[in-house]
Structure 1
Amino acid sequence: MTHQATQRCERVAITRIGENDFAEFPKSPSLQKFDPSDRKFVAVALTHHAKPAIANAVDSDWYNPKQALAEHGVKLDFLCPELF
């Protein structure tokens, strides 16, 4: 939030569908149970032209679906993989 007016951040538009779903989030049975509150991060990463990796420190909700996310082009960077 503190860097959104600088060159450190780029804004991308994502399309909200309902409370916690986005048009840009992959429509896949393997991701159907993915945490709704985290879907915005996947939508942003997939919409950005560089397809940046999503950094995750200790949120275990991202570890189990890592393969399903990778199949849809989502790159994850686990900062503390020894904790999973």
Structure 2
Amino acid sequence: MNKIILDTNVPAKAAVAPELCPAEELKMQKACMEYIGELTKNKDKKLVLDLDHEIWKEYHTNVYGNSNMGKIFFKWLYEYYATILPEDNIKLHKDSEGKYQEFPYDEDTQEFDESDKKFVALSNAHQEKPPIIEAADGKWLGYEESFAKYGIHIQFLDRDYAQKMYEQKILNKRAD
């Protein structure tokens, strides 16, 4: 599949100067940099975005635009957006409580991080259900199976690091 949804942490991690990146994140950051480099050169790869620009705004808030990778990403994003296909620029709907109607709420997914629900809702709303590209946020690991039953898939750029973060943040909290 050539369509993707890009979690903000991928371009955000890619845009961090390597000398400012913690040593344990260098492998993951390199994977993010390589992914952004490939994305910006691959004319066949299509980024799916939301029509209300929530993800776009998140990119602008969290991706360091003065770094080389940030500049490369934003230059590509502006050029890409001028040519985005209507079917890849999806309107997400919210109910009266501000919850995404396209998010697959059930007992296994309702506790998922509120700030990341837009990515899942976007994948679920798109006809092709493009995968969500994730840098290494471990909390996603605990929801892979729950989202997979809806045809929503997560691709980790550094699964080992994500597993480490999942164990530190999620499993250790449960043990306390």
SS in structure 2 opposite 1:29? coil
State the shift of 1:7 in Å: 3.7
The structure whose Rg is larger is 2
Q: Which runs of 5+ in 2 are unaligned?
A: 1-55, 57-77, 164-176
For residue 31 of structure 1, what is the aligned residue in structure 2? 109
State the shift of 1:8 in Å: 7.5
1:5 matches 2:64: no
Which of 121, 126, 133 is 1:43 aligned to?
A: 121
Counterpart Cα distance in 1 of 2:114 and 2:149: 19
SS in structure 2 opposite 1:49? coil
Number of paired residues?
83
For residue 143 of structure 2, what is the aligned residue in structure 1? 65
TM-score, scaled to structure 2: 0.44
State the shift of 1:63 in Å: 0.9
Q: Which has the higher helix share?
A: 2
Taking a change above 3 Å as real, the CA distance of residues 42 and 82 of structure 1, as seen in their structure-2 partners, is same
SS in structure 2 opposite 1:65? helix
SS in structure 2 opposite 1:30? coil
Q: Which runs of 5+ in 1 are unaligned?
A: none
Counterpart Cα distance in 2 of 1:35 and 1:7: 28
